[in-house]
Structure 1
Amino acid sequence: MPIFNRTLDEHKQDFKNRKFLAMPLAGLFAWLVVGIAGLMLPTTVMVWVLFGMTGSIVYLGMAISKWTGEDFKDRTRPKNALDQLFFLTVGQALLVYALAIPFFLVDPTSLPLSVGILTGLMWLPLTWMIDHWVGAFHAVARTLVVLVLWYAFPEHRFVAIPFAIVLLYGVTIYVLHNRKIESGNRPAPQPTH
């Protein structure tokens, strides 16, 4: 079905019926690698691990989407306007490196703060797109937790912040996996006797 022959509500219904597990699983994996590396590597190396892993989340998500049944590259699925919006939010998250890099050049330990918060903002529009609170939860909790940990653990920013983000991804994945998906195609419940 062409993209223009459907209403916004039809696009939204189709979009919110998806699993949304591939990208958060990719984010969890990337930030887990950053946290583990933070336990072992000096800051001068850690910054490159953080840049590389967080910059590759979209590509990891594309690969993982085949295993979660979401397959982002599936050309047989009807086009959906919200797919374009979602990938624009991903692009927005990548553009924030323009803020993170100048602060990183002044203070390399600012990187977990700036990248941790700014790339997490893409979760906020997802709340509207899927009519579920989990996107707002992730964005707001991530912002607050990263900010608090950045001040609370100045010597362990490359460990505390990534592991906190991993924990938030874990909660988010759990909620997404268990959320009730409202589908217009779902059969009506049968009456109990």
Structure 2
Amino acid sequence: MKESRSLDVQREEFATRRLIATPIAGLIAWAIIGISSTFLNPLAISMVLFAATGSIVYLGMFISRFTGENFLDKNRPKNTFDALFFYTAGMSVLVYAIAIPFFLEDYTSLPLSVGILTGLMWLPITWIIQHWIGLVHGVARTAAVVLVWYLFPEHRFLAVSVVIVVLYILSIAVLENRWRGLTRRGLGNSHEGASDLD
């Protein structure tokens, strides 16, 4: 008979994870977008943005093998909050229905709409892990993306990418520090980090 774990227990299990694989994937994707924007034409950079942001989840799955999180580990007990996390990723994909029509009117709207809308999945993370980083990342990302989008109209893809990459770097550092603190106190998942990136 399968062991039934309460939602509170599953939430605690999820909250003790490292949680850096997907942010690293996002950082890589937005760095590629920013670098590409310095030499590609408008159509090409738009396609890079669609492809790079659309592949974040898959890249995160790959990176998770090296951070000790291993999203595809079949031996890890099922966790309801994994499903919630993937639903929020799905929500981010669905918002392309907003981004695409605006993109067709003005291609420079793309980093604004996708940059903000895909950042919304950080808000549920704050609730799940009961830590401020998701809320701070989501709010700071929204405000900063809007600000640089207006301040740098000739370099919107680059400016938005720089903001998002910087916020990812800060958020990864906070998440890693949080996880190391949990590990020192014996609360972090012991199997994670066996093959750490750093």
Q: Which runs of 5+ in 1 are unaligned?
A: 187-193
TM-score norm. by structure 1 comes to 0.92
Over the aligned positions, Cα root-mean-square deviation in angstroms equals 1.6
Look up the match of 2:192: none
Supply the distance in 2 between the matched residues of 1:15 and 1:184 (Cα, whole angstroms).
16
**Post-superposition offset of 1:7:** 1.0
Given that 1:2 and 1:78 are in contact with CA atoms closer than 8 Å, whether structure 2 keeps it comes out as no
Q: Which runs of 5+ in 2 are unaligned?
A: 188-198
Supply the distance in 2 between the matched residues of 1:185 and 1:7 (Cα, whole angstroms).
21
TM-score norm. by structure 2 comes to 0.90
Instruction: Point out the structure with max Rg over C-alpha.
Output: 1
Question: Within 5 A, what are the aligned runs for 1:131-146?
Answer: 131-146=130-145
Given that 1:17 and 1:183 are in contact with CA atoms closer than 8 Å, whether structure 2 keeps it comes out as no
Which consecutive segments of 4 or more residues in structure 1 shift more than 6 A?
Answer: none
Look up the match of 1:80: 79
Q: Percent identity?
A: 56
Supply the distance in 2 between the matched residues of 1:17 and 1:52 (Cα, whole angstroms).
31
Given that 1:24 and 1:173 are in contact with CA atoms closer than 8 Å, whether structure 2 keeps it comes out as yes
**Post-superposition offset of 1:8:** 1.2
**Structure 2 counterpart SS, 1:39:** coil
Supply the distance in 1 between the matched residues of 2:133 and 2:141 (Cα, whole angstroms).
12
**Post-superposition offset of 1:2:** 4.5
Pairs aligned (count): 185
Supply the distance in 2 between the matched residues of 1:74 and 1:182 (Cα, whole angstroms).
20
Q: Which digits, 9 at most, give the CA deviation of each residue in 1:111-166, with x for residues without a partner?
A: 00000000000000000111100000110000000000111101000101001100
Supply the distance in 2 between the matched residues of 1:22 and 1:150 (Cα, whole angstroms).
27
Look up the match of 1:160: 159
